[in-house]
Amino acid sequence: MIGEKKKTIATIAEKNRVIDNIIEAIATKEHFLLLGHKSPDEDCVASLVGFALLVSKFGKTPTIFFSQLMTKQYEYLLNICRYNSISIATTFGPEDGPVDAIAIIDTPKPEMLDTNPYIDSLIADDTIVTIEIDHHIGADGAYNGQEGYLLVMEASSAAELVGHLALKLSNRPKLLEQYQIGELFSRNVVLALLTGIISDTNMGQFLKSRREKRYYEIFSNMFNNMLTKDTVKETNFANMKELFAELNHLTSKEEACYRRMMKKRRRSKCVAYVFLEKPEMEMLWRTYDADTIVSVSRTVTDNLAEESGVLGMVAYYDNPDSSDLVQFRIRRSRTYKGYDLRNLLEVLSIANGGGHEGAIGFRFPQSEIPDLKQYAADIIPRIDAALG
């Protein structure tokens, strides 16, 4: 299909087949390389970040490639990546780790793809799934991806199509439960996608069809519903400046939350870990919303894994106003391949957990773990012993 002229997906059945294939790739692949077009605009960058956030929620490893550093204009989006364990690379070669899936987003044709010779060889490798998400139809547009993975159709923006994919993912409760995903549409996801939609449509002014206006309203309302958790604002953003201000505010909160969590890190033979006891969590609940705590805990887990060279682990109490659970996350370092973490669920006799070989999560009722420090003293030596 690469190089053939693009045309919009003709039927709902075909669109659903393509989306099913992409969801299957998200569920089964581990290392995603994300590509956009040369001199990317807001929709391209925001769509890449939005897709990377979705992939990272499933415990997968996304890397976004830009051949040149982004301008100050996109700093808020790069900050979202920084505090959500999403790598940004300006070079990429064999030494940068495996790739078993590629996602090409918002790129009209192969000649416009931001790439390098090594990445070109990965795209030419039929054993690597190459997904394409794009809204450029007609003119001299040509496919970049593999047949069966081409979410190419008329839309207001590439961000809208990533949002459509996310909506389909949100209707897979068993898959979300398997990966311990409580909320797929976190504020970071919606803010990133709204950035793309708003920028490409000039706050909706460029929209003409009923369909485009409908989807613009879906995402605008979705964000406003989330925003009202922290503010009384009930209308859409008046301009892009207000959206940027909210994004910058959010990422600054994440940075402060990250620093607080990392101050509590400890080490064992195989595990770098942060166990946040109730007094510490009460302080975090007063300061940060649930989205921030969840996304930052994931980043802390990933960074601890790389710091230890083996495993990273984070444990914290949920806010009792919304949950009575203690949450645990464990992730394997990228360089450590010697143990399937799903085996730990059996070793530790844990029923309420899941994940994949490189990352797992599990939870207990808070009543079962009144003293997290004592639980750490029990579980960490058992993990060390299991890893030998």
Q: What are phi and psi of 164, to 5 degrees?
A: -65, -40
Q: What are the residue ranges spanned by the domains of the chain?
A: 12-240, 263-387
From residue 44, how far is each of 146, 158, 204, 297 by CA, in Å? 20, 7, 17, 27
State the pLDDT at residue 298. 83
The predicted pLDDT at position 230 comes to 47
Task: Give the span between the Cα atoms of 322 and 320, in whole angstroms.
Answer: 5
Cα–Cα distance list, 363 to 318, 320, 367 (Å): 10, 14, 12
pLDDT of residue 235: 43
Segment 28-80, tens digit of pLDDT: 999 999 999 988 888 899 999 999 999 999 988 899 999 987 656 677 788 78
| Beta-bridge partner residues of 130 | 102
State yes or no: pLDDT of 141 exceeds 50. yes
Task: Write the CATH number of the domain with boundaries 12-240.
Answer: 3.90.1640.10
Q: What is the pLDDT of residues 211-230, one digit of tens each?
A: 667 766 776 666 656 555 54
CATH C-level class of 263-387: alpha beta
Position 34 scores a pLDDT of 98
Assess contact for 158 and 105: CB atoms under 8 A: yes
What pLDDT sits at residue 78? 81
The residue ranges of DSSP E strands in the chain, in sequence order, are: 31-35, 61-65, 87-89, 101-105, 129-134, 150-152, 266-267, 271-276, 311-317, 325-332, 353-356, 359-365
Q: pLDDT tens-digit profile of 227-252?
A: 555 444 444 455 556 666 666 666 67
pTM above 0.85, yes or no: no
